[in-house]
Amino acid sequence: MMKKDGYRVERTGDYQFEIPTTEKEGMRVPAQIYASDKLFKEMDLGVLNQITNVACLPGIVRAALCMPDGHWGYGFPIGGVAAFDKEEGVISPGGIGFDINCGMRLLTTNMTFEDVKPRLEELVENLFRKVPAGLGGTGFLRLSASEFRDVVERGVGWCIENGYGWEEDRERIEDFGCIEGADSAKVSSKAISRGLKQLGTLGSGNHYLEIQLVTADNIYDKDVAERLGFNMDNQVVIMFHCGSRGFGHQVATDYLRVFERAARKYGITVRDRELACAPFNSPEGQDYYKAMACAANNAFANRQVITHMLRKAVSETFKTSPEDLGLHVVYDVCHNIAKVEKYRVDGEERELVIHRKGATRSLGPGAQQIPPMYRDIGQPVIIGGSMETGSYVLMGTKKAEEKTFGSTAHGSGRTMSRTKAKRLVRGDRLLRKLKQRGIYIRAASMSGLAEEAGFAYKNISEVVDVVHQAGISRKIVGLRPIGNIKG
Amino acid sequence: MTFEYLEDVAIADLAFRAEADSIEELFEVAAEAVSNSMTDLSTVRPAVTRVIQLEAESLDHLLFDFLAEIVYLKDSETLIFARFETKITRNESCRLRAEMLGERIDRGRHELRQDVKAITLHMFALEKTDSRWSATIVLDV
Specify the length of chain A in residues.
487
Give every CB contact of residue B107 below 8 A, 6+ residues apart in sequence: A134, A135, A136, A137, A444
Task: Taking residues A405-434, report their average pLDDT.
Answer: 93
Residue in B9, B14, B136, B4 with CA at minimum distance from that of residue A205? B14
- Which chain B residue lies closest to A207 (C-alpha atoms)? B141
Res. A386: pLDDT tops 90: no
pLDDT of residue A78: 96
Please tell me the distance in Å from B81's CA to the nearest CA on chain A. Answer: 13
**Nearest-by-Cβ selection for B38 from A98, A135, A196:** A135
pLDDT of residue B132: 96
Res. A160: pLDDT tops 90: yes
pLDDT of residue A137: 95
Structural domain boundaries in chain A: 2-86+340-360, 103-339+368-486
Res. B11: pLDDT tops 90: no
- Which chain A residue lies closest to B111 (C-alpha atoms)? A445
pLDDT of residue A229: 98
Tell me how many domains chain B contains: 1
Q: What is the CATH number of the domain that holds B104?
A: 3.55.10.10
| CB burial of residue A220 (10 Å; 0-12, 13-18, 19+) | middle
Span A257-277, pLDDT tens digits: 999 999 999 999 999 999 999
The span from the first CA to the last CA of chain B, in angstroms, equals 24
**Nearest-by-Cβ selection for B124 from A78, A249, A273:** A273
**Nearest-by-Cβ selection for A418 from B14, B38, B124:** B14
Question: On the CB side of A64, how many CA atoms lie within 13 Å of its CA?
Answer: 31
Band (pLDDT 50/70/90 cuts) for residue A389 is confident
Question: On the CB side of A172, how many CA atoms lie within 13 Å of its CA?
Answer: 22
Res. A1: pLDDT tops 90: no
Residues A236 and A212 sit within 8 Å (Cβ to Cβ)? yes
Give every CB contact of residue A388 below 8 A, 6+ residues apart in sequence: A434, A437, A439, A453, A454, A481
pLDDT of residue A339: 97
pLDDT of residue B9: 84
Please tell me the distance in Å from B69's CA to the nearest CA on chain A. Answer: 10
Res. A226: pLDDT tops 90: yes
Res. A473: pLDDT tops 90: yes
**What is the Cα gyration radius of chain B?**
14
Residues B31 and B66 sit within 8 Å (Cβ to Cβ)? yes
Residues A339 and A390 sit within 8 Å (Cβ to Cβ)? no
Structural domain for B14, as ranges: 2-140
Select from A49, A277, A418 the residue whose CB has the most chain B CBs within 10 Å, as the one to mutate to test that interface. A418
**Nearest-by-Cβ selection for B8 from A195, A257, A417:** A417
Active site residues of A: 410
Give every CB contact of residue B112 below 8 A, 6+ residues apart in sequence: A134, A135, A136, A204, A444, A445, A448, B38, B39
Give B121's contacts in chain A (Cβ within 8 Å): 74, 256, 260, 272-274, 276
Task: Taking residues B26-33, report their average pLDDT.
Answer: 98
pLDDT of residue A162: 98
Residue B118 to residue A203, Cβ atoms within 8 A: no
Residue A135 to residue B10, Cβ atoms within 8 A: no
Helix (H) or strand (E) holding A423: helix A418-424
Question: On the CB side of A472, how many CA atoms lie within 13 Å of its CA?
Answer: 30
Residue A253 to residue B68, Cβ atoms within 8 A: yes
Select from A92, A197, A419 the residue whose CB has the most chain B CBs within 10 Å, as the one to mutate to test that interface. A419
Span A312-357, pLDDT tens digits: 999 999 999 999 999 999 999 999 999 999 999 999 999 999 999 9
Span A98-118, pLDDT tens digits: 999 999 999 999 999 999 999
Band (pLDDT 50/70/90 cuts) for residue A69 is very high
- Which residue numbers of B have CB closer than 8 Å to A's CBs? 5-15, 38-39, 61, 64-65, 68, 71-72, 74-76, 78, 80, 105, 107, 110-115, 117-124, 138, 140-141
| CB burial of residue B92 (10 Å; 0-12, 13-18, 19+) | exposed
Band (pLDDT 50/70/90 cuts) for residue B1 is confident
pLDDT of residue A406: 98
What average pLDDT does chain A have?
96
In whole angstroms, what is the distance from residue A232 CA to residue A218 CA?
12
pLDDT of residue B31: 98
Span B45-78, pLDDT tens digits: 999 999 999 999 999 999 999 999 999 999 999 9
Q: Which CATH superfamily is domain A103-339+368-486 in?
A: tRNA-splicing ligase RtcB (3.90.1860.10)
In whole angstroms, what is the distance from residue A243 CA to residue A201 CA?
9
Residue A438 is classified by DSSP as T
Please tell me the distance in Å from A216's CA to the nearest CA on chain B. Answer: 34
pLDDT of residue B8: 84
Residue A387 phi/psi, 5-degree rounding, is -65, -10
Please tell me the distance in Å from B25's CA to the nearest CA on chain A. Answer: 24
Res. A34: pLDDT tops 90: yes
Give every CB contact of residue A478 below 8 A, 6+ residues apart in sequence: A214, A218, A219, A220, A390, A391, A392, A461, A464
- Tell me: ipTM over 0.95: yes
